[in-house]
Structure 1
């Protein structure tokens, strides 16, 4: 069976036009793995969110848009091109939302004779709204259009020693000589998502994240995020006081995992934290949530609150050591 690889990232609007952003947000926010409360998805979303949110989001996208297009799309394509050079079989890319779609990615691979495909969700940590929805959607497309394909998925790699070394080196490469704290800001999710993905019914948010060998850890986004922070902290030789972790991008009034990034940034200066470096380990590729929400808005919030120096550390994007890491994962799959 001829092999192929499919990289799958989050997605982006086709342009910064409001109509394109609205189309993208509709697909994204109507995913029951993202907004899992039916009345929010079917009533509040079409009546209150989609009529107004796309215009504001389009303005945000314009701030970070590159000449080549969406940063996330461009960076994922660069990563794909580098990984393709490592193999003599096809490597394609797809987005969970927007274009290029998962269907188009599988079509490209099938048209090149691929029957056995390694799908790589570009998310280090497992979550219902990231890894799980990519797997579900890809399986759905496969069952509907490509029943003869064989699919294998790369599992969450948050605690892979090689990945930890790469992330730590990336932070080290951009870390200023003087800093008070390194803030690890992860994308937030509702607390109920943690419980929904826990098939073991053993998770207790805030009580078991730091316990060893807890069966719920396999799908617990909160635990996996804190594990990344701790492993990278040790790899960099930082003290506990030099590191802090928070979660960004909450939506709605339901409880989301805490602490929140915006409140953390605003509260740092009064606690004497004036020089910070910020990294977003939930993302492989820089995107709206990192370039606009963190590097622009987060910096503004911190400086207005009395902060003095704000350093944003880029995502791994298309780093050569990340390419080598993915190459090793593909080789493991082939073996």
Structure 2
């Protein structure tokens, strides 16, 4: 009797409250994470401050989520679950292995610390859904797993590295943008699919690649996030030229929280500047792979209103990948390779520091 080899893939995302009742828990997880809420304070001061900020921000955040129309929560978890289902089908189609794909979050539920998420190894593979490396996302994920299992996942064969500098990722991103403007995407597969009609040739647009910002304090610690974003945008822009793109590409950063110095230019200031010059503007969420608060509300509503009010000829939000088939197949390829060939500390190289239980020290 033949038994198929069983493997588990765990998609990891930052998370989002599924309902309004989970908002404070989500924010508390977010702000108590030392790789996200990185302050030069001892833990006995930082943690109470983080919990205070989470509690104070909950009512405001609750109102924002209520305005989105997803029952008072975020669609990020459910969108990640859709991606998991598609990836599971692809992996089972492409291999003779019996794949199960699960979803874990570093903030909120289902939390990565839960017992069902087992030790990373060649049969239990973790894929953080962040194209670019950052201390606040990837290093945070690795730290959660390192604390749980007393070893860093990098080099176990159970971790999929980031892919911001991969030319195939650039090509798929360019194809997605082209498919969007060509009208060949299946609108029903996307949340709040943009209905705006272009009033100019898309190849002459000002294309803004908006990334989630991070505090400059993280960059100064060795975070390669800005270089990762620049590499992604440069590669995608070059790939877009094969589809006839002749416009200008711009990099900007969104979602700043607090008074600290963050990565610049801000998306708000860049879009306002382009709008005042009467540009035709499109925004692609370069650091997100599924639509949620930052893409639907911040880009789709706030940025759009600002652009049109300050003189833009037009503004259009390009969706995040979601379950876009070429991207899902690309992720499946990355999973099958995993990190078996990694022989150095990616945390040190990309994030500026090694974790305590690093096998490459």
TM-score (norm 2): 0.76
**Alpha-carbon distance in structure 1 between the residues aligned to 2:224 and 2:81:** 29
**Are 1:308 and 2:313 matched, yes or no?**
yes
Structure 1: how far apart are the matches of 2:12 and 2:80? 9
Aligned counterpart, 1:54: 58
Q: Is contact 2:19-2:72 (8 Å) kept?
A: no
Shift of 1:257: 1.2
Q: CA deviation at 1:304?
A: 1.5
Match runs of 1:25-44 below 5 Å: 25-39=27-41, 41-42=46-47, 44=49
The Cα RMSD (Å) is: 2.6
Name the CA shift for 1:12/1:233 in 2 (closer, same or farther; >3 Å).
same
Deviations 1:125-174 (A, max 9, x none): 00000011011102222349xx9xx6621111001122111111111122
Matched, 1:186 2:211: yes
Change (3 A) 1:166 1:138: same
Give 1:261's match in structure 2, choosing from 243, 264, 267.
267
Q: Is the CA contact 1:248–1:261 (under 8 Å) kept in the aligned structure 2?
A: yes
Secondary structure of 1:302's counterpart equals: helix
Per the normalisation by structure 1, the TM-score is 0.82
SS, match of residue 328 in structure 1: helix
Q: Is the 8 A contact 2:207 2:249 kept in 1?
A: yes
Contact 2:207/2:283 (<8 A) preserved? yes
Q: Aligned partners of 1:250 and 1:108: how far apart in 2?
A: 31
- The partner residue of 2:10 within 6, 22, 41 is 6
What CA distance in whole angstroms lies between the structure 1 residues aligned with 2:7 and 2:259?
45
Where structure 1 has 5 or more consecutive residues not aligned to the other structure, the ranges are 199-218
Structure 1 residue 53, shift from structure 2 partner:
1.5
Range that drifts further, 164-173 or 227-236: 164-173
SS in structure 2 opposite 1:126? Answer: coil
Distance 1:29 1:65, change over 3 A: farther
List gaps (5 residues or longer) in structure 2: 93-97, 182-197, 341-361
Deviates more, 1:65-74 or 1:231-240: 65-74
Question: Deviation above 6 Å: which 4+ runs of structure 1?
Answer: none
Q: Which residue of structure 1 aligns with residue 293 of structure 2?
A: 288
Aligned-pair distance for 1:255? 1.4
Counterpart-to-counterpart distance in 2, 1:53 and 1:133? 22
1:330 to 332, 335, 343: 335
CA distance in 2, matches of 1:51, 1:71: 22
Paired residue for 2:240, among 202, 227, 236?
A: 236
The offset of 1:42, in angstroms, is 3.8
Q: Are 1:252 and 2:279 matched, yes or no? A: no
Alignment partner, residue 213 of structure 1: none
Would you tell me which structure has more helix in proportion to its own residues? Answer: 1
* Partner Cα distance (1:263, 1:184) in 2: 14
Secondary structure of the residue aligned to 1:153 is coil
